[in-house]
Copies of this chain bind each other. A is one copy, B any other.
Amino acid sequence: MKGTERIMLGHGSGGLLMHELLEDEIVAALGRGSIQPDDAAVLPLDGGEVVFTTDSFVVDPIFFPGGDIGSLSVCGTVNDLAVMGAKPLYLSVALILEEGLPIEDLRRVLRSMRRTADEAGVRIVTGDTKVVPHGSADKLFVTTTGIGLRLKGLAPSSSRIRPGDALIASGSLGEHGLAVMLRREGVEFGAEIVSDVASVFPIVESLKPFGDAIHAIRDPTRGGIASTLNEFASASGCTIEIDEQAIPLRDDVRGACEIFGFDPLHVASEGKLVLAVAPGNATEVLCTLRSVPLGSNASIIGTVTDRRTPRVILRTAVGGRRILEMLAGEQLPRIC
């Protein structure tokens, strides 16, 4: 882009500067489909159940170990489709840029977005760009919206959870939230903790043969697995019992959480799943998960016990039992 290496208000004007920004940066990075001359995309969708989801991303910092706001905003929305049992097909990308943002930062984010979309097999087909004055936003916010088609046979929904179901985590938890927090606070902590941000669609696809036996799938992002499990309990009206020792946690995550006073069960992951599976299929699902790259640390972490009270009970390492609450206030702002 000529004449400027920082975002200016005029880049959001609807005029020449904006057209330059679109052509030189956004189309160059995301591909022609992301900017329709007609401001919307026309999509072929061959029947089936269409799934539709949106997420804004305000992560701070925009670059962190293992990812950035670009890969996060693509994976976050791809994953919201995947947990519905849908194959992600199309994405829209809406950018809010702060005046003064280095163009090179925008480029890095867009490149990351494109690479992540290509890897996830999803097409960025339409978009929008706004610029606000310096101080009216923090660098760069991204809103991605996704359209997917439900895989035949899969219809996961937290309302389908029932007593007897096994709860399975697809891998170790909390890495994303900690990676972002440690980078934001400038804390050095032994070996760097790296975000787990990734598309979980390959995991979901591997579960297609189990069809109806997959009762619910969710990605434990904001609020961590504690929020996910409480949402499962509340949507199904069931009591869920979790074995604390069975929850996969990396030692560095456990250690950092102890030092900084976080409960790792409240810390976000961005490439993991929690599943509720019919009891007869639990072992087979576990083995399938362990056979895909992102699921090698999958574990059965608990069961749905009964329909008396919607709540989550944690069996602790020392044999105690406590109620695992949802996070009440804010523990880690701006981690997605």
A interface with B by C-beta (< 8 Å):
8-10, 12-19, 37-45, 47, 49-58, 60, 80-81, 83-84, 86, 90, 92-96, 125-133, 135-138, 141, 143, 145-147, 150, 156-159, 218, 221-224, 227, 231, 235, 266, 268, 325-334, 336
Q: Do A80 and B40 form a contact, CB below 8 Å, given A16-B328, A130-B56, A130-B58?
A: yes
Residues B54 and A8 in contact, CB atoms below 8 Å apart: no
Residues A14 and B222 in contact, CB atoms below 8 Å apart: yes
Q: Do A13 and B55 form a contact, CB below 8 Å, given A145-B92, A326-B19?
A: no
Q: List 15 A-B contacts (CB under 8 A).
A: A13-B327, A14-B227, A16-B326, A37-B158, A38-B157, A41-B52, A43-B52, A47-B47, A54-B127, A56-B95, A130-B336, A132-B138, A132-B334, A133-B334, A145-B145
Partner of A37 from the list B18, B51, B128, B231 (CB cut-off 8 Å) is: B231
Q: Do A223 and B125 form a contact, CB below 8 Å, given A138-B137, A143-B54?
A: no
Chain B contacts for A141, CB-based, 8 A: 56, 96, 137, 141
Of A143, A227, A328, A336, the most chain B CB neighbours within 10 A belong to A143
Residues A53 and B37 in contact, CB atoms below 8 Å apart: no
Distance in angstroms from A270 CB to nearest chain B CB is 12
Copies of this chain assembled into the complex? 2
Chain B contacts for A221, CB-based, 8 A: 14
Distance in angstroms from A123 CB to nearest chain B CB is 11
Residues B55 and A94 in contact, CB atoms below 8 Å apart: yes
Distance in angstroms from A162 CB to nearest chain B CB is 15
Residues B333 and A37 in contact, CB atoms below 8 Å apart: no
Interface of A is mostly: mixed
What is the chain B residue whose CB lies nearest that of A231?
Answer: B37
Chain B contacts for A10, CB-based, 8 A: 328-330
What is the chain B residue whose CB lies nearest that of A219?
Answer: B39
What is the chain B residue whose CB lies nearest that of A158?
Answer: B37
In Å, the complex CA distance between A236 and B160 comes to: 52
Partner of A55 from the list B128, B158, B159, B231 (CB cut-off 8 Å) is: B128
Distance in angstroms from A193 CB to nearest chain B CB is 20
In Å, the complex CA distance between A158 and B49 comes to: 31
Residues B328 and A17 in contact, CB atoms below 8 Å apart: yes
In Å, the complex CA distance between A334 and B128 comes to: 14
Of A8, A41, A135, the most chain B CB neighbours within 10 A belong to A41
Partner of A329 from the list B8, B52, B58 (CB cut-off 8 Å) is: B8
In Å, the complex CA distance between A49 and B42 comes to: 6
Residues A13 and B58 in contact, CB atoms below 8 Å apart: no
Partner of A333 from the list B84, B128, B132 (CB cut-off 8 Å) is: B132
Distance in angstroms from A30 CB to nearest chain B CB is 13
Of A18, A136, A156, A221, the most chain B CB neighbours within 10 A belong to A136
Give me 18 other A-B pairs in contact (C-beta within 8 A), A10-B328, A40-B83 excluded.
A13-B329, A13-B330, A15-B223, A15-B326, A15-B327, A15-B329, A15-B331, A39-B83, A40-B86, A41-B52, A41-B53, A54-B94, A54-B145, A56-B141, A60-B136, A131-B333, A132-B333, A132-B334
Chain B contacts for A43, CB-based, 8 A: 49-52
